[in-house]
Amino acid sequence: MKILVNGAWRETQRDELAGALEELGYGGSVVSTAVNGEFIAAALRARTTLADGDRVEVLAPMQGG
Amino acid sequence: MLKLYEQTIRSRLMLGTARYPSPAVLADAVRAARAEVVTVSLRRESAGERAGQAFWSLVRELGVRVLPNTAGCHAVKEAVTTAHMAREVFGTTWIKLEVIGEDDTLQPDVFGLVDAARILCAEGFEVFPYTTEDLVVAERLLAAGCRVLMPWGAPIGCGRGLNNLFGLTALRAHFADVPLIIDAGLGVPSHAARALELGFDAVLVNTAVAQARDPVQMAAAFAQAVEAGLAARQAGPIEPRDLATPSTPLIGTAFRG
């Protein structure tokens, strides 16, 4: 399945958000996620099903003013 | 002491964490500023670089309170979603709400700002709205549930100081009991001192410190300016006058009469 992760197309074998994040290398990271513009809390990632073409945002703490 | 949403803050200088030459300089600047609150943001994370993880470790080591922002958001929906994501990552209900309406000046979209503030306050967020000095907008933000306001001094990063002194003074006078934090546009420590002298409760500074030739020294200078401004405010400044009044007593002046 192809999903758009932070603006780049990525291939994943997993169809739930938690598994896809693990597969894409985000395991253990402090991140927050959104799918198709909707916030997905960490507790809901395991039961959030992805579909081909979904837009996934993976955000982390960053410098800000 | 300054009370922001039930939290007592001693330092009147808040510091942004962006645009420093290095993480080490940022850490030294935060310490030199004696800042208790720093602003942070959220950005896309690369699984390979994990830059966000290193930054977050640094901030946690500093032991400061974080105020996450929604910088870069131009729409209510974006700002609200970003706030939700920030609350989860940073573990705080504080949110510096920015809804940008114009790219050249980064002027707030005050209509979107009020809408987003209403949604987030209803959800239990403690909202610090980045706004203008407009009194009516301020009223609407307070009605939406905000209990702190962050009016701009001037456009973000421009260093011009307090652009609309009359408007800011009117805002301070009109909302005497609301914590007001000048956010954005300050360039030098005297701007910060002026803000505190006028009765503003605190200032938030980023670019003026981070882009100074010596950010750590500039952070210390801002800290001193804020302390001086607050002390002056508490000491009760004299009212400006149009004409001179002699400071030396005239009684007993030689060669008179």
Q: pLDDT at position B250, please?
A: 82
A25 vs B47, B51, B56: nearest CB: B47
Q: pLDDT grade, residue A64 (50/70/90)?
A: very high
- Residue B59, pLDDT > 90, answer yes
Closest residue by Cα to residue A24 from B57, B85, B51, B45: B45
Contact A59 B71 (CB under 8 A): no
A29 vs B17, B53, B204: nearest CB: B53
Whether the Cβ atoms of residue A59 and residue B89 lie closer than 8 Å to each other: yes
Q: pLDDT grade, residue B32 (50/70/90)?
A: very high
The residue of chain B nearest to residue A10, with distances taken between CA atoms, is B47
Q: pLDDT grade, residue B16 (50/70/90)?
A: very high
Q: Calculate mean pLDDT across residues B36-46.
A: 96
Cα–Cα distance, B209 to B44 (Å, whole number): 25
Which one-letter amino acid corresponds to residue B199? Answer: G
Give chain B's mean pLDDT: 96
Q: Calculate mean pLDDT across residues B161-174.
A: 97
Distances (CA, A) of A59 to B37, B73, B213: 22, 14, 31
Whether B3 sits among the annotated catalytic residues: the reply is no
B208-253 residue pLDDT tens: 999 999 999 999 999 999 999 999 999 999 999 999 988 888 888 8
The reply to whether A33 touches chain B by the CB within 8 Å rule is yes
B186-204 residue pLDDT tens: 999 999 999 999 999 999 9
- Residue B48, pLDDT > 80, answer yes
- Residue B60, pLDDT > 80, answer yes
A3-62 residue pLDDT tens: 999 999 999 999 999 999 999 999 988 999 999 999 999 999 999 999 999 999 999 999
B84-121 residue pLDDT tens: 999 999 999 999 999 999 999 999 999 999 999 999 99
B211-223 residue pLDDT tens: 999 999 999 999 9
3-state class (DSSP) for residue B257: coil
- Residue B257, pLDDT > 80, answer no
Nearby residues of B249 by Cβ (< 8 Å), 6 or more positions away: none
Q: pLDDT grade, residue B50 (50/70/90)?
A: confident
| pTM for the structure as a whole | 0.93
Of B12, B34, B87, B96, which one is the catalytic site residue?
A: B96
Whether the Cβ atoms of residue B137 and residue B145 lie closer than 8 Å to each other: no
- Residue B5, pLDDT > 90, answer yes
B169-187 residue pLDDT tens: 999 999 999 999 999 999 9
Residue B104: other Cβ atoms inside 10 A: 6
Q: pLDDT at position B47, please?
A: 85
Contact A34 B51 (CB under 8 A): no
Chain A partners of B97 at a C-beta cutoff of 8 Å? none
